[in-house]
Amino acid sequence: MAGSRPYHSVLGAGQETLPQKLPLLHLFYPSKPHFHRQQNPTKILQLHPPSPPPPRLLRSTPSSLPHHQRPPLHLHTALRSALRAAKPDLSNILTTLQPHLLIHDILLRWAGAIASEKNIPSVTFFTSGAAMFSYFCHLGQRGGVEFPYPAIRLTGFELSMAIGALESSKNEEKDPDEDAGWNFGRTIIVNSSREIDGKYMDYLSEMLNREFIPAGSLVRDYDDDDAGESVLMDWLSQKDKFSCVFVSFGTEYFLKREEIEEVAYGLELSNVNFIWIVRFPKGDGTTVEETLPAGFLERESIEFGVPIVAMPMHLDQPMNAKLVAELGVGVEVERDNEGRLQREEIAKVIRDVVVGESSGELRRRVVERRERIRLRSREEIDEIAHKLEQICGK
């Protein structure tokens, strides 16, 4: 690499889907002010994929899927195969740009091996939290030993889903560059704060013999200039403070019909105002009217409602729900012994969180934790900046 440049150039490589791309971009931009205060400022290079992408990237994914939209779960294996097909493109980019450092998504573990071949150091970025990461690593490395943190212990139903995900990944085509890349990058940035799951980062360091650095809070400040939200905000302004619930299950999970019905009845029984994001797979043709119980849409709240009620459905959600409960900032909706949602339990948890005796204390803890995370995050992003400078200077 050319050592005479007056700045450090950093290249970020991740999945070209919005849920994965945003944390990586947010990691870059908060750190820029810090770097520019230093004697050797850092230049952030933004990589724009070709349009249309190379055919080999599209052969396993549906042609109708927008680049910014994350594919459904059953296509993740095909997505990872398509990403591996992009190795020559990344190699050419690294040769052309010769950055001082590559920061790559953990799903692109092979990227570290390619960077190492060109004498470029690399850092891995994990876009989820450390609690989930440590739990799955524990299952893979110490499966016969009980997970040391009881708050994250999964139910039989949740454990079967987690083990199923691990077994599914084992059946994928093996890439020797993935293990090689894992050996080169000794530093992993985690999309979290020590204020949230510091002990899980320490456990990861112990298991994997790597340095885990928290990125702090990468959530961007809310922009209230969007005129399209004015109707929603007007509706909310007419409601009592802390009286509304926002219901969402993420961008990748589509509720089954019976799950939609239980959530709908649970909301009805809770008697709170709510906004519910009801999503269906693209091209499914199903409508909200067809899926919800008869008469449900007559409630004004189906279009405008609020607070965040998220019941764990898949991937890291069960671990995250338990982490929220452990931190004292939320309550998990428990399922029955067969893993099914129950409308009465949904209604009970919503009422407890919104209007129950402990709701005020819960809100106080959330605000307190938020302020602590904000303070800690300022320190953590500075720590990352210093660490990356050290790596670039090697």
| CB 129, CB 197: distance < 8 Å | yes
Give residue 389's domain range: 8-220+374-393
For residues 164 and 231, state if they share a domain.
Answer: no
Say which CATH number the domain at 107 has.
Answer: 3.40.50.2000
Q: Is 64 helix (H, G, I), strand (E, B) or coil?
A: coil
For residues 194 and 272, state if they share a domain.
Answer: no
Q: Is residue 1 part of a domain?
A: no
For residues 276 and 304, state if they share a domain.
Answer: yes
For residues 169 and 249, state if they share a domain.
Answer: no
Q: What is the pLDDT of residues 67-78, one digit of tens each?
A: 444 555 556 666
CA 195 from chain centre, in angstroms, equals 17
Q: What is the pLDDT of residues 352-394, one digit of tens each?
A: 888 888 888 878 888 888 888 888 888 888 888 888 888 887 5
| CB 90, CB 49: distance < 8 Å | no
Give the strands of the sheet with 42-45, arranged side by side: 42-45, 8-13, 101-105, 122-126, 187-190, 211-214
Q: What is the pLDDT of residues 256-311, one digit of tens each?
A: 888 888 888 898 888 888 777 676 666 555 655 555 555 444 333 223 323 345 47
For residues 336 and 386, state if they share a domain.
Answer: no
Q: What is the pLDDT of residues 312-323, one digit of tens each?
A: 777 777 888 888
Q: Is 26 helix (H, G, I), strand (E, B) or coil?
A: helix
Average pLDDT over the chain, rounded to an integer? 72
For residues 153 and 251, state if they share a domain.
Answer: no
Q: Is residue 3 part of a domain?
A: no
Lowest pLDDT segment from 196-200, 249-253, 343-347, 350-354: 249-253
Lowest pLDDT segment from 18-27, 78-87, 193-202, 340-349: 18-27
Question: For residue 244, which of 357, 355, 368, 367 has the smallest C-alpha distance?
Answer: 355
Per-residue confidence (pLDDT) for residue 29, from 0 to 100: 54
Q: Is residue 304 part of a domain?
A: yes
- Structure token digits, residue 64: 């109708």
Q: What is the pLDDT of residues 21-55, one digit of tens each?
A: 445 555 655 544 444 444 444 444 444 444 444 43
**pLDDT more than 70, % of the chain:** 61
Pick the more confident residue, 1 or 302.
1
Q: What is the pLDDT of residues 102-137, one digit of tens each?
A: 888 888 888 888 998 999 999 998 888 899 889 888
Per-residue confidence (pLDDT) for residue 306, from 0 to 100: 30
For residues 250 and 150, state if they share a domain.
Answer: no
User: Cβ of 248: how many Cβ atoms within 10 Å?
Assistant: 14
DSSP string, 312-363: --STTHHHHHHHHHHHTS--PPPP-TTS---HHHHHHHHHHHHTSTTHHHHH
For residues 182 and 266, state if they share a domain.
Answer: no
For residues 331 and 383, state if they share a domain.
Answer: no
- Structure token digits, residue 105: 């998504």
pLDDT band for position 233 (50/70/90)? Answer: confident
Q: Is residue 2 part of a domain?
A: no
For residues 296 and 338, state if they share a domain.
Answer: yes
| CB 196, CB 325: distance < 8 Å | no
Backbone angles phi, psi at 187, to 5 degrees: -115, 130
**Can you tell me the distance from the alpha carbon of 181 to that of 324, in angstroms, rounded to the nearest whole number?**
33
**Can you tell me the distance from the alpha carbon of 153 to that of 151, in angstroms, rounded to the nearest whole number?**
6
**Can you tell me the distance from the alpha carbon of 288 to that of 255, in angstroms, rounded to the nearest whole number?**
12
**Can you tell me the distance from the alpha carbon of 324 to that of 313, in angstroms, rounded to the nearest whole number?**
15
- The number of folded domains in the chain is 2
Question: For residue 116, which of 164, 160, 179 has the smallest C-alpha distance?
Answer: 179
Per-residue confidence (pLDDT) for residue 52, from 0 to 100: 43
| CB 346, CB 247: distance < 8 Å | no
Q: What is the DSSP letter of 306?
A: B
| CB 81, CB 173: distance < 8 Å | yes
**Can you tell me the distance from the alpha carbon of 353 to that of 310, in angstroms, rounded to the nearest whole number?**
12
Q: Is residue 191 part of a domain?
A: yes
Question: For residue 126, which of 118, 116, 140, 136 has the smallest C-alpha distance?
Answer: 136
Per-residue confidence (pLDDT) for residue 250, from 0 to 100: 67
User: What average pLDDT does this structure show over 164-170?
Assistant: 65
**pLDDT more than 90, % of the chain:** 10
pTM passes above 0.75 = no
Q: What is the DSSP letter of 191?
A: S
Per-residue confidence (pLDDT) for residue 51, from 0 to 100: 44
For residues 335 and 252, state if they share a domain.
Answer: yes
For residues 105 and 236, state if they share a domain.
Answer: no
pLDDT band for position 214 (50/70/90)? Answer: very high
pLDDT band for position 165 (50/70/90)? Answer: low
